[in-house]
Amino acid sequence: DTVLTQSPALAVSPGERVTISCRASESVSTGMHWYQQKPGQQPKLLIYGASNLESGVPARFSGSGSGTDFTLTIDPVEADDTATYFCQQSWNDPRTFGGGTKLELK
């Protein structure tokens, strides 16, 4: 299975720019997607196809990358962005998720 590796946690101040990385153990082309999950809630789609912003998601969120290295950027970060962010690939079977990056605000 394709393993997706994310940093476990980040802490930033409101108004700053934050980048969350996801590295795949093998190429996933641009079949990478990003989700936000708040405690006790279901995940919410942010970015699909590596760089496409889902409808209704603020333009503060953006995604980039291809192959094995991907980035989710939030600029500027707001207090409501406190959550865990997961990357997920759908290029290789089975679909797999990263372990999540917990974003905390200082």
Cβ closest to other proteins, residue 74 vs residue 85: 85
CA-to-CA separations, 27 to 24, 44, 54, 66, in angstroms, rounded: 7, 24, 23, 8
Q: According to CB under 8 A, which one of 36, 100, 101, 103 is a site residue for other proteins? A: 100
Q: According to CB under 8 A, which one of 63, 88, 101, 103 is a site residue for other proteins? A: 88
Phi, psi of 36 (to 5 degrees): -110, 135
d(CA 62, CA 43): 17
Candidate segments 14-22, 30-38, 57-65, 69-77, binder of other proteins by CB under 8 A: 30-38
d(CA 66, CA 52): 13
Map the footprint of other proteins across residues 10-29, applying CB under 8 A: 29
Minimum CB separation from other proteins for residue 30, in Å?
5
